[in-house]
Amino acid sequence: MGFQCGIVGLPNVGKSTLFNALTETAAAEAANYPFCTIEPNVGRVSVPDPRIEKIAAIAKSAKVLPTQLEFVDIAGLVRGASKGEGLGNQFLANIREVDAIVHVLRCFEGEVTHVDGSVDPLRDADTVETELMIADLESVERQLDTTAKRAKTGDKEAQRRLEVLQPVADALRDGRPARTVVLDKEQRPLFKALQLLTAKPVLYVANVEEESAASGNALSEKVRAKAEAEGAGFVVISAAIEAEVAALGDPADKREFLESLGLEETGLARLIREGYRLLDLITFFTAGPKETRAWTVRQGARAPEGAGVIHSDFERGFIRAETIAYDDFVALGGEQACKDAGKMRAEGKEYLVKDGDIFHFRFNV
């Protein structure tokens, strides 16, 4: 199961620099002109989690395999994208495929030309959000017209769809993204099927100058307030610093460099953690002499779904999940000690996966 975060924003806000730093590649060209990223670049990054090393040490694993997230660097959007301006249609198609939007906002002055001639992160955020809402409204209004006609004939399914489409259309006309619409549990699948751009969760990244990386600046505080008001994610990052950190090969050098700037961890670690929270993801582990591996699943997943993340056969033939909590595994010193202490549990199909669970799945196909 892969989870993708699409990195979006206006041209020249630091998207590609951030993408390069996050993925430690030069796959996305960073240049001082719009549309230097023509095709979406996809990079996989390991999710930093100190628990995996502790588990591997106890299990004496030969390999350690962290879980991963995918970041997609999407070409810069400009005003009028919903009408095809710039790379509009391509931008909208690419963003439709991701699970969450990482919206990079420029919060630094400098020589790099801003597409609108001045630095204003709230204006930039509004530009992108407006284009996405316009595209969503056009899609919803098309569906609304045909669905309303079918609903009048007594079509029950059309009537249920209409109960979702109408409040979404009203919100978009009022300038509110689709994710602000309150729906009941039965309506959520119909809402999800609409594949709306503004339904996706948003993480605002305030890209600041190096001197403001630790505490942010006046511009990033405006973005923080916006994120809090919307219930969106928020991270302050200096893409320039992340690029420098990525260029340092030795982990000790990276730590020393970060400490010199008053930073305890990289922007990647903060971004991943906030991305996980935004997507409502948790991590579980499998451990043994061959490897310790981390896996990602959505909060609220039951044990068979967790097993299915590893292999579809595990889910199809699920019998039980032999489960040890991470704290017990570390405190007692491994699987056998947990068995002896009665800390290994046999969980069935209804068990909800908990963050940090260490599983051994039993299955039969």
DSSP-assigned letters across all residues of 224-283: HHHHHHHT-EEEEE-HHHHHHHHH---HHHHHHHHHHTT-SS-HHHHHHHHHHHHHTEEE
Comparison of pLDDT for 131 and 90, the residue scoring more: 131
Q: What is the pLDDT of residue 297?
A: 94
Of the candidate ranges 22-26, 34-38, 109-113, 360-364, the one whose mean pLDDT is the lowest: 34-38
Cα 235 from Cα 233, distance rounded (Å): 7
Judged by average pLDDT, the poorest of 246-250, 254-258, 310-314, 327-331 is: 246-250
Q: Which of the two residues, 6 and 284, has the higher pLDDT score?
A: 284
Closest CA to 68 of 254, 275, 207, 314: 275
For 217-232, b/e burial (b = at least 16 CB within 10 A) is bebbebbbebbeebeb
What's the mean per-residue pLDDT of the chain? 86
* Cα 318 from chain centroid (whole Å): 29
Instruction: Pick the more confident residue, 191 or 264.
Output: 191
Q: What is the pLDDT of residues 14-49, one digit of tens each?
A: 888 888 887 765 444 444 444 344 455 888 888 888
Torsion sign (Cα): 223, 229, 230, 235: positive
pLDDT at residue 232 tops 80: yes
CB atoms closer than 10 angstroms to residue 306: 28
- Stretch 213-222: mean pLDDT, rounded? 93
For 114-159, the pLDDT digits (tens) are 666 688 999 999 988 988 899 899 999 999 989 999 999 988 999 9
pLDDT at 31: 45
Is the C-alpha dihedral spanning 310, 315, 321, 325 positive or negative?
positive
Residue 337, pLDDT score: 97
Cα–Cα distance, 32 to 26 (Å, whole number):
15
Q: Give the whole-number percent of the chain exceeding pLDDT 70.
A: 88
- Distance separating alpha carbons of residues 174 and 163, to the nearest angstrom: 18
Q: What is the pLDDT of residues 166-212, one digit of tens each?
A: 999 999 999 999 999 999 989 999 999 998 999 999 999 999 998 99
Range list of H helices, the chain: 15-23, 50-59, 88-96, 121-152, 156-173, 188-193, 218-230, 239-247, 251-260, 267-279, 303-310, 312-316, 326-332, 335-340
Q: What is the pLDDT of residue 112?
A: 61
Spatial distance between the Cα atoms of 272 and 237, rounded to a whole number of angstroms: 12
What's the pLDDT score for residue 301?
96
Per-residue pLDDT, 114 = 62
Please give the structure tokens belonging to residue 256. 């020393």
* Sheet order of strands, 4-8 included: 41-46, 68-73, 4-8, 100-106, 202-207, 233-237
Q: How many CB atoms lie within 10 A of CB 5?
A: 24
Whole-angstrom distance, CA of residue 310 vs CA of residue 315: 9
Buried b (16+ CB within 10 A) or exposed e, 335-363: bebbeeeebbeebeeebebeebbbbebeb
Average pLDDT over residues 311-316: 95
Average pLDDT over residues 235-240: 91
Q: What is the pLDDT of residue 37?
A: 43
**pLDDT for res 1:** 46
pLDDT of residue 19: 85
How confident is residue 316, by pLDDT bands cut at 50, 70 and 90?
very high
β-bridge pairing 291-298 and 63-65 = parallel
